[in-house]
Structure 1
Amino acid sequence: MPAFRQVGEKQLPNTVSFMAWSPKRDLIALANTSGELLLHRLDSFQRVWSLPPSEYTGKDITALAWRPDGKILAFSLGDTKQVVFCGVEKAEILHVFPIQSPVSCMHWMEVTEENSALTAFYNSEDESVLFLPKLPSLPKSYSTTSKIFSEEKSDEITNLLGEVRLNVLVLGGGSGSVELYAYGMYKIATVTGISGTCRSLSLSSDLKSLSIITEVRSVDSDTQICFCQLDTGLLSDCLPEVTRMARKFTHISTLLQYLHLSLTCMCEAWDDILMQMDHRLTKFVQEKNTSSQVHDEFLELLLWGQSSPELQALLMNQLTVKGLKKLGMSIESSYSSIQKLVISHLLSGSEALLYHLGEVKGMSLWKQKFEPLGLDSAAVEGAITAVGSFSLKANELLQVIDKSMKNFKAFFRWLYVAMLRMCDEHVPPELNKMTQKDIAFVSDFLSEHFSENKELFDRKGKYFNVERVGQYLKDEEEDLVSPPNTKGNQWLKFLQESAHLKESPLLFPSYPQKSLHFVKKMMEGVIEQCLQKPAEVIGKSVHQAAFLPLYTVPESSENTPRLFELPSLWNDKKAKVHNVVFSMPEISPSKLYLLRKVTDARRHVPSSVMSIDLSHILDNDNAKSHCGVYSCLDARFYDDEMLTVVLRGPEEENGRRILAQLPLSSTLSCETEFIWEPNKRLDQQTGAIPCQGIVLGNQWRELENMKAQFVAVNGIRKVSCVLSANLRHVRVFEMDVEDEDDEGADSQNVSADQGALETTMSSQGQEEDKGLMTKEHTEATEGQNAEDKLESEESLELS
């Protein structure tokens, strides 16, 4: 029986650019060159869903990574310079954030370091749940509302944060810059000054160091592949503080997005139909022959019941009775929707922001703990003030809405009766009664709103601003066209007369001339500055601890796909070592090299370098001896002590492909001291590198009828996926499969114990897997039948 059980094979229509196994489930994510993201299940390689590219995000996927809990998939886009989070349950975008430069690689890790203070924090309950009401979900009826907050009965912030344990998304860029995001949401460090382009990176689980594989290009010589280790000791030393700060700032970042989406919904609730009165009055002014003012003509209609022919034509021909009723209903509906969004979403989100910023301010005052991380109490205080100003502006909008609704109801009621009289139609008795107070109210409304404004015509192309709410929602830098009338406000008068109170830091500035959008942008800028300072301080504390040039890449291999190519990095959590596996086919094609570096960059432990001889790797009692040299095409760490490799046989055997498991235990146990000459690359001193031979036994399988080139593995789920050289043909294998016929009674007991252990480890993942064969997959099955049939035929032709 051949080793490893093949469970799926597929010929894909588009070239695969990335593939990554889920850390918790039997799912593999594939990204292709058309910008499509695909999720496949291990069983028969069934497709669960696909996320096509969109204009909103982009289609040039440059990197891919799973969150450690397997619930969110992150990918970066080079054309739009964005990072996108996608939920695993459905093909929907959960979160998008911009980045400075295109990402060339990413790694999402979880902190596993045990710390008594940290454990106490993990076990404690988030007190904000006790003091803050749950944020209401945004209405689904608006098109631009993100899916993050629209799921019913879901705690939006918790869904994005994931588990309480700190996890960090690391992004490596083409310009040698690296950014670290706590929970994938909040930037905790920005590192610059790294030589070359980041090809692969891995942050140690104890946060003590960050290892990077870089590609350094030079004009005069070939491209160099180098290993760089950065000391991130400040993160490790202040782990409990970093976790607390990151969690608070992630809450704040999420709330900012919540407020942004709430304001977007308000803009959609405001309808352009509300501007019809302004535009028709402007047209009326431009076309009429009389020199009288518009509000004078309306006042004459109000007092004497008489109107000029021009005004009568405006009302009866352009506005019409039916149009007036429609406009009145639109205004009431739109204003009510905006009012509800302000009260239930904007003000609730602002209160939650003030709560979390208040806690951050308390943290910043504990200078011994948080000052080294760059937490500045003055910056936090400025952020609190900015949120207070935003709340004031939101309350001002509520007052404007309330006043406008009363004004419009009274005005439309009077105008409706006046237009009915013009038509000689019956006026309902309940509308015919109008007191002197009502007349005075309409008169004041006409005087205030129906006066011509030459400055407004220059700016907006209209003379009037009857509708006062829309100006608050416009994303413009200009001042409000019609700011609220504060004449007679006793509180403002008291503040102006009190010199001490006017400058008091306890009072939030109100910005009466600015729109809600302007104040929101200002608030976001102040909070962003507050959040950026720790990232700058932590980033400056990171320094290079080691830089080891490995080998050069000749120009002849420049056309080789760079997306999967070696080296490969692995974070050994138990031994606290970073492993790098690579090959140098131009120098020693039959050898595979392993570089080991301790994660604690402050320990001056020399790098350990070993090589594995692949010359006679299949020589044993059960396999015939193969002459010639085997070379390694791709290698990935299956676990701490096992490598999964794709080998290419000698040319006289038609370069057959082998999928194999290389045990590293014997190699690691025979470590021999290697003295690295600092002024030379590793490929210039290969003769001194200790070498170890390995015989595979039965841990290999020939990949027939497939020009295999790359492999992706997951040792936790015991699976691998092999990709062909043309990047379109994949095969999926279960790796740890035993022949049941050869099992004895003793081995059955062992297998039972192992099965119990595996069941315990994977029960949660299997339960979650059940939710994935949902309606989306069922609906997609019929559409896939024709495609699967075609792919099967292509596969048979290839065979």
Structure 2
Amino acid sequence: ESRFPSEQSSFRQVGEKQLPNPVLCMAWSPKRDLIALANTTGELLLHRLASFQRVWSLPPSECTGKEITALAWRPDGKILAFSLGDTKQVVLCGVEKAEILHVFPMQHPVTCMHWMEVTEENSALSSFYNSEDESKLFLPKLPTLPKSEEKSDEIMNLLGEVRLNVLVLGGDAGFVELYAYGMYKIATLTGVSGTCRSLSLSSDLKSLSVITEVRSADNNPEICYIQLDTGLLSDCLSEVTRMARKFTHISTLLQYLHLSLTCMCEAWEDILMQMDLRLTKFVQEKNTNTQVQDEFLELLLWGQSSPELQALLMNQLTVKGLKKLGQSIESSYSSIQKLVISHLQSGSEALLYHLSEVKGMCLWKQKFEPLGLDSAAIEGAITAVGSFSLKANELLQVIDKSMKNFKAFFRWLYVAMLRMCEEHVPPELNKMTQKDIAFVADFLSEHFSENEELFDRKGKYFNVERVGQYLKDEDEDLVSPPNTKGNQWLKFLQESTHLKESPLLFPSFPQKSLHFVKRMMESVIEQCLQKPAVSFVCCLPSSFPRVTGVCVNVICFLRYRWNDKKAKMHYVLFCMPEVSPSKLYLLRKGTDPNRPNYIYSCLDARFYDDEMLTVVLQGSEEENRRRVLAQLPLASALSCETEFNWQTHLRLDQQSGAIPCQELVLGNQWRELESMKAQFVAVNGIRKVACVLSANLRHIRVFEMDVEDEDDEGADSQNASADQDGLDASMTSQGPGEESVEAEDEGGEQKGAVFQKTEEHLESEEALELS
């Protein structure tokens, strides 16, 4: 009969808060005293341990989504990943400023995620870590984006540390994908059935364990445990790390170029369109049939203007307005010019450098061919980046030419308007040579001609300002493409049959805008990034028994730890309330597919550290089902020598009585959770904290777990009573050929769990009985 001691130990409560919205996911940071919460409104919250104080909140947005389904921290604690079910996206968020740094789409909604760091070391990988920054020897440091851009300080945080880390995503229809550094897809899985409930990749990359929920014909859930051999990634760890790092650099540079172009668009001002709009209005209101450029040429050559032109200049444009327009154009063009030179060109050079290195990798077929690098796709990406660089250079030429033209034009027009006002003209402005007159005449002839087609599309006849068309995010061709007449190089290329279609020359797309070429480049590189992903087909080992007909509740899943012989092991914790409501089952399986694995359950349970399990327990009806937070020591259970001989032809519930048990004493390591229907728990053993969430997902309490007894009132009397009336537990031994374990993964990372109450089925090799 299950019962609890009458007294409790001293877990010191350090915070309590009523939340306005139910919480769906929560996860502690692996490095700092921070916990991330996601609620039903799609809001992401970050709280600090002290008084459970809110650090920031990230509200849902139209460009992302409102249904957060899973959370995961990057191992360094600087990036938080969360998945959105309604828009099928995964978002990487900067922790410092709550900024969305990267978003990528998924084929299926993500139901669980796990972000781990590779701990396996070899000499080749160590040399790569040491030489990873060799690109700095050849490439200039990318300048920081203007401070007006929100993400300027955070964009490079996407790269993070050099050591490889992998974000594993699972979803519906057995969908599982692996992303190096949380950005670059290195593997996809096929053959997994059901919806992924939980997953874990071993830190040595040798195996991936997945728990899925499969619905039977009568819609009853069945829980399946699957272990996949990912030995290819482990065997090619050095190559995978090099390739992933390069592609992460490439993805980051694409983001950098996108933000640079955004800054350029912000630098371009709408005031630059005033000349075009006023000239259009002038044409529509004037009574004469003369062309606008003819009227300006008459003013240039003879110093005479029609009443309509004089009214346009003096009443609408004004001397003061002309001066302001000239200053705006010069300032705007200078800002855009600097961004193109310092950001676009530098980013394009770095992109070409890294893509060229990836091309070199794919030519080393012995090393990189098994990983699926596509040389044709990489070549296409290099060509696309080259075209983008050419278009950026073309924009520079247009800016340079426009600045010279406008400077000469505004200087002449300013003097002409002063004369119309009969005001004094400064001597330094009054000198205009024949060459200057010819220059302005050419400018008027080229830019001041009416275009009826342009009026239909843009609402104006003129396109005096030529830079803005390059920055418009539209699929239409340039209104006024650059005049290439007389260009000797282009003439030479057109007349050369051998060079005309040469793959050594980048196509220039003279009719397209900079935005169009950038989108084309992003599309080609995105295809290039998808190509190398390895595909794994899952196979259940024939020796691993399958559980059917048993209701299983999975509580927490797949912590990997070292055993005595330094072999990595996976663990899963679960319970079977219909078979043994007072037992916790712990399943262990080696990360090497030739070894075995583990599992756990009750109301909720989490590994606290190497030797302790944190559990939320519920009392019997006689005890009014009161909730208790307890620490369960695992040392004696994991060292149990009695072995259970699994009969593979029988179901687990048919032989559960034969599973041997081990007596455990909790002593004073528990505390009643008064006035709270506790249901879930998240822990961080490194920080010695636990966060308990109520069944209605609104009530949270935070505890410091390792507190001296004298800190709380009445601790001595509690301990004395607890020694007599302790909470006992029992646990079965390990299966044949399996070994005990000692340590868990570094950082005590707890994966965010999506809290659902479902019936599940699973296999077990060891059990722990609460008595």
Query: Which TM bucket (shorter chain)?
Result: 0.7 to 0.9
| Matching of residues 629-644 of structure 1 within 5 Å | 632-644=602-614
Correspondence 1:23 to 2:30: yes
Q: CA deviation at 1:96?
A: 3.4
Q: 1:729 aligns with which of 699, 714, 730?
A: 699
Instruction: Compute the displacement of 1:489 (Å).
Output: 0.9
Spell out the pairing of 1:558-707 with structure 2 (5 A cutoff): 566-574=555-563, 575-601=567-593, 603=594, 605=595, 632-668=602-638, 669-670=640-641, 672-675=643-646, 677=648, 686=656, 689-707=659-677
* Stretch moving more, 714-723 or 665-674: 665-674
CA change 1:477–1:573 in 2 (3 A) is farther
> Shift of the alpha carbon at 1:121?
2.1
Change (3 A) 1:253 1:224: same
Per-residue CA deviations over 1:509-561 (Å, capped at 9, x if unaligned) read: 211111111111111122112111002xx1x234344597656798xx9xxxx
Given that 1:231 and 1:543 are in contact with CA atoms closer than 8 Å, whether structure 2 keeps it comes out as yes
In 2: Cα distance, 1:199 partner to 1:548 partner: 20
Q: Deviations over 1:556-583 (max 9, x none)?
A: x9xxxx9xx7253322245422211112
Indicate if the aligned counterparts of 2:355 and 2:381 stay in contact, CA closer than 8 A. yes
Closer, same or farther: CA 551–15 of 1 in aligned 2, 3 Å: farther
Q: 1:32 aligns with which of 30, 39, 54?
A: 39
Is 1:150 the counterpart of 2:156? The answer is no
- Could you say which structure has the greater relative contact order, defined with CA pairs below 8 angstroms and 6 or more residues apart? 2
2:754 alignment partner in structure 1: none
Corresponding residue for 2:434? 436
Q: Which amino acid aligns with 2:561?
A: D
Q: Percent identity at matched positions?
A: 83
Structure 2 CA distance for partners of 1:419 and 1:544, relative to 1, 3 Å: farther
The aligned counterpart of 2:536 is 541
SS at match of 1:256: helix
Summarize the Cα distance change of 1:146–1:98 in structure 2 as closer, same or farther, 3 Å threshold.
farther
Tell me by how many angstroms 1:160 deviates: 2.4
Alignment match of 1:260 (pick from 258, 262, 286): 258
Distance 2:550 2:84 in 1: 26
Q: Which amino acid aligns with 2:153?
A: S
Secondary structure of the residue that 1:465 maps to in structure 2? Answer: coil
Deviations 1:485-510 (A, max 9, x none): 11111111222222222222222221
Q: Which has the higher helix share?
A: 1
**Does residue 99 of structure 1 match 2:117?**
no
Q: Report if aligned partners of 2:191, 2:538 keep a CA contact under 8 Å in 1.
A: no
**CA deviation after TM superposition for structure 1 residue 332, in Å:** 1.0
Aligned to 2:137, the other structure's residue is in SS state helix
Q: Deviation at 1:269?
A: 0.9
1:512 paired to 2:510: yes
Change (3 A) 1:362 1:308: same
Of residues 135, 138, 147, the one that matches 2:142 is 135
Q: Which amino acid aligns with 1:4?
A: F
Question: Which residues of 2 match residues 182-331 of structure 1 at below 5 A?
Answer: 182-218=180-216, 220-331=218-329
Q: 1:573 to 1:399 in 2, by over 3 A?
A: farther
How much has 1:727 moved relative to structure 2? 1.8
- Per the alignment, in what secondary structure is the counterpart of residue 303 of structure 1? helix
Gaps of 5+ in 1: 612-630, 744-760, 766-799
Q: Which moved more, 1:303-312 or 1:81-90?
A: 81-90
Within 5 Å, give how 1:741-756 maps onto structure 2.
none
1:60/1:79 contact within 8 Å kept: yes
Contact 1:20 1:30 in 2 (8 A): yes
Q: Specify the alignment match of 1:122 in structure 2.
A: 129
- Contact 1:233–1:542 (Cα < 8 Å) also in 2: no
How far apart, CA to CA, are the structure 2 residues paired with 1:606 and 1:110? Answer: 22
| 1:55, distance to aligned residue in structure 2 (A) | 4.2
Give the distance between the partners of 1:42 and 1:376, measured in 2 at CA: 48
The Cα offsets for residues 60-99 of structure 1, whole Å up to 9 and x where unpaired, read as 2211111112222222223343333333334444433333
Distance change in 2, residues 1:568/1:430 (3 Å): same
- Cα distance in 2 between the residues matched to 1:682 and 1:514: 67
1:72 aligns with 2:79: yes
AA paired with 1:20?
A
Q: Calculate the aligned-residue CA RMSD, in Å.
A: 2.8
Alignment-mate amino acid for residue 672 of structure 1: E
Query: Cα distance 1:632–1:407, how it changes in 2: closer, same or farther (>3 A)?
Result: same
Of the structure 1 ranges 401-410 and 579-588, higher mean CA displacement relative to structure 2 is found in 579-588
Report which stretch shifted further, 701-710 or 328-337. 701-710
Q: CA deviation at 1:724?
A: 1.7
Structure 2 residue matching 1:479: 3-state secondary structure = coil
Structure 1 residue 607: deviation in Å?
A: 5.7
CA shift for structure 1 position 470: 0.9
In structure 2, distance between residues paired with 1:162 and 1:607 = 32
Shift of 1:232: 1.6
Letter of the 1:373 partner, please give it: L
Structure 1 residue 53: Cα displacement? 3.5
| 1:403-414 matched pairs, under 5 angstroms | 403-414=401-412
Distance 1:441 1:582, change over 3 A: same
CA contact (8 A) 2:190 2:537 kept: no
SS in 2 for 1:127: helix
1:709 aligns with 679
- C-alpha distance after superposition, 1:442-462 (max 9, x if no partner): 111111111122332333232
Q: Structure 1 residues 96 and 573, CA, compared in 2 at 3 Å: closer, same or farther?
A: farther
CA shift digits 1:124-153 (9 cap, x unpaired): 352012222211111122xxx342x336xx
Task: Provide the residue aligned with 2:372 in structure 1.
Answer: 374
The amino acid across from 1:124 in the alignment is: S
- Which secondary structure state, in structure 1, belongs to the residue aligned with residue 187 of structure 2? strand
Change (3 A) 1:543 1:59: same
| Alignment coverage as a number of residue pairs | 703
Q: What's the counterpart of residue 332 of structure 2?
A: 334
Contact 1:568–1:635, Cα closer than 8 Å, also in 2: no
Amino acid in structure 2 at the alignment position of 1:543:
C
Q: CA deviation at 1:270?
A: 0.9
SS state at 2:245 partner: helix
Deviations 1:622-655 (A, max 9, x none): xxxxxxxxx9211112234432111111101111
Specify whether residues 47 and 656 from structure 1 end up closer, same or farther in structure 2 by C-alpha distance, changes over 3 A only: same
CA 1:63–1:121: 2 relative to 1, 3 Å: same
* Distance of aligned partners of 1:369 and 1:706 in 2 relative to their CA distance in 1, 3 Å threshold: same
Following the alignment from structure 1 to structure 2, what is the Cα–Cα distance between the partners of residues 513 and 193? 47
Confirm or deny: 8 A CA contact 1:110 1:205 kept in the other structure.
yes
Instruction: Give distance in 1, aligned partners of 2:351 and 2:324.
Output: 39
Structure 2 distance, partners of 1:504, 1:192, is 40
CA displacement at 1:393 relative to structure 2: 0.8
